[in-house]
DNA sequence: AGTACCACCTGACGGC
DNA sequence: TGCCGTCAGGTGGTAC
């Protein structure tokens, strides 16, 4: 489930559970998830503590006292699992950090589309990976300036991580539903005040989702997300939710509410 | 510069 | 019950 709100919840979880504890050792499958090997990561961080956490878009960073950062990206599935005193971690745990006190932090990633990496500098890492400004960090002015020169559909613009990072398939559906735009609306057709409104919707949706722990069951029933299923009733107009395909991704809309 | 499509993985679900 | 196709909240590469 990991889009910006989910990753922010994971960050808070890791911050509260796994910082200020001395790292004893790390282990991980030597498969495609480990961008840097567990051995390399262990050599850099064993004996140190995590003292900070950071998030940019869907990327999560845990910084150690010796200025290293373990980087996490969850792909389409996964979360963290913290366990006390070596109690059992969930299935599909791909990377484990063990602390001196015996506690464990597991990176759970069923579909192996995520990754674990190591970097000295967060800024440098983001530049290399072409991760754009975070959707909740960028100013309204910068957001509008970026979109001014953008072509193509608003949906693909919102989901382009190099433009603005953190918004994925389902939260872009929600944002566009609340803003009233069809996902295929062309960006050049949006006025400056349209873009201002869009910026506000992005903040509204992402911030409230974080407040509700990114738990779909706790989101307002007036939102699209709890009704994001073909044939369900639109919570606003009671029309039928339709599923369409945009750049290969399933996309849910209310055709009558999203006709701007 | 955008977009469409495939690939990477695993597991759940519906149809037969 | 079992097999098969399809789909899932992400990203990267490639071809157009």
CA pair distance A49, A20, nearest whole angstrom: 5
Q: What is the pLDDT of residue A86?
A: 83
Tokens of A139: 């100013």
What is the distance between the terminal CA atoms of chain A, rounded to a whole angstrom?
A: 29
What 3-state class would DSSP assign to A159? helix
Protein residues with beta carbon less than 7 Å from any atom of strand C? A 1-3, 6, 57-58, 73, 75-76, 111, 113, 129-130, 159, 161, 168-170, 214, 216, 243, 249-250
CA pair distance A172, A151, nearest whole angstrom: 17
Closest residue (CA) to C1' of nucleotide B7 is: A113
DSSP state of A242: E
pTM: 0.96
Series of mean pLDDT values for 10-residue runs along chain A (260 residues): 94 98 93 92 98 97 97 96 94 97 97 96 93 96 93 93 95 96 93 95 97 93 93 92 88 91
Q: What is the pLDDT of residue A260?
A: 75
Q: What is the pLDDT of residue A221?
A: 93
Which nucleotide shows the minimum CA-to-C1' distance to residue A184? Answer: B3
Closest residue (CA) to C1' of nucleotide C7 is: A250
Q: Extract the runs of DSSP E, i.e. beta strands, from chain A.
A: 23-28, 50-56, 59-64, 69-73, 79-83, 93-99, 104-108, 115-119, 242-246, 249-253
DSSP annotation string for A72-96: EE-TTS-EEEEEGGGPPPPTTEEEE
DSSP state of A205: H
């Amino acid at each position: 489930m990991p889009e910006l709100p989910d990753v922010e919840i994971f960050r808070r979880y890791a911050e509260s559970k796994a910082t200020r504890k001395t790292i004893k050792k790390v282990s991980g499958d030597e498969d495609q998830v480990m961008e840097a090997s567990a051995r390399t990561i262990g050599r850099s961080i064993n004996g140190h503590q995590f003292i900070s956490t950071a998030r940019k878009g869907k990327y999560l960073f845990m910084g150690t006292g010796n200025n290293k950062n373990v980087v996490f990206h969850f792909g389409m599935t996964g979360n963290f699992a913290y366990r006390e005193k070596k109690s059992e971690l969930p299935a599909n745990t791909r990377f484990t950090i063990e602390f001196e006190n015996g506690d464990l932090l597991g990176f759970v990633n069923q579909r192996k589309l995520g990754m674990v990496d190591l970097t000295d500098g967060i800024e440098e890492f983001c530049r290399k990976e072409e991760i754009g400004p975070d959707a909740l960090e960028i100013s309204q002015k910068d957001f509008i300036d970026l979109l001014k020169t953008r072509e193509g559909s608003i949906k693909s613009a919102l989901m382009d991580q190099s433009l603005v990072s953190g918004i994925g398939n389902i939260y872009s559906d929600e944002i566009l539903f609340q803003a009233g735009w069809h996902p295929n609306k062309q960006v050049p057709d949006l006025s400056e005040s349209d873009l201002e409104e869009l910026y506000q919707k992005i903040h509204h949706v992402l911030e409230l989702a974080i407040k509700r722990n990114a738990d779909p069951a706790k989101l307002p029933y007036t939102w699209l997300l709890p009704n994001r299923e073909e044939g369900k009733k639109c919570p606003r107009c009671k029309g039928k939710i339709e599923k369409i395909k945009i750049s290969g991704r399933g996309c849910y809309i209310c055709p009558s509410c999203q006709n701007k």
